[in-house]
């Protein structure tokens, strides 16, 4: 069963990456190296801390990324709370991991205010959560 879950997560990650490359701006490893050199390490340490406390958050973060990117590209609109938003859409009611993204955003804003997009945080968190589960 665990092997099947990993395969499904890997396939979803690949689909998310393909979607990002087709519709996104081509964010890559090291994208923030000159504007916020700690960005990737901050997201990774935040994800690691949360996933170590609750391993079920790993697939939740990947699913969040998928749902955010699925229709019209990765824009972090799934994070917006309130009536009539993507977050309250029926398909998104079971999404998990918002607290991880909020925590990472808070830490990033303290170091590099206004630099790292929420969409990139969601993508980095999904990537890091998959790596944690696979390793």
Catalytic residue among 23, 50, 65, 67: 67
**Spatial separation of the C-alpha atoms in residues 9 and 93, rounded to whole Å:** 19
Please give the DSSP secondary-structure letter assigned to residue 26. Answer: -
Does the active-site annotation cover 67? yes
Q: Which two tokens stand for residue 11?
A: 């396939």
**Spatial separation of the C-alpha atoms in residues 22 and 135, rounded to whole Å:** 28
3-state secondary structure of 106: helix
* Residues contacting 31, CB < 8 A, separation 6+: 120
Active site positions, annotated: 67
């Amino acid at each position: 069963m665990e092997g099947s879950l990993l395969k499904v997560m890997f396939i979803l990650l690949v689909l998310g990456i393909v979607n990002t490359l087709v519709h996104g701006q081509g964010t890559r490893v090291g994208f923030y190296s000159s504007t916020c050199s700690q960005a990737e390490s901050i997201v990774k340490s935040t994800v690691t801390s949360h996933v170590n406390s609750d391993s079920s958050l790993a697939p939740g973060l990947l699913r969040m990324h998928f749902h955010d990117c699925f229709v019209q590209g990765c824009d972090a609109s799934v994070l917006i709370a309130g009536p009539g938003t993507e977050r309250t859409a029926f398909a998104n009611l079971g999404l998990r991991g918002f607290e991880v993204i909020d925590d990472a955003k808070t830490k990033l804003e303290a170091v590099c205010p206004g630099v790292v997009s929420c969409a990139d945080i969601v993508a980095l968190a999904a990537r890091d959560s998959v790596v944690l589960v696979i390793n």
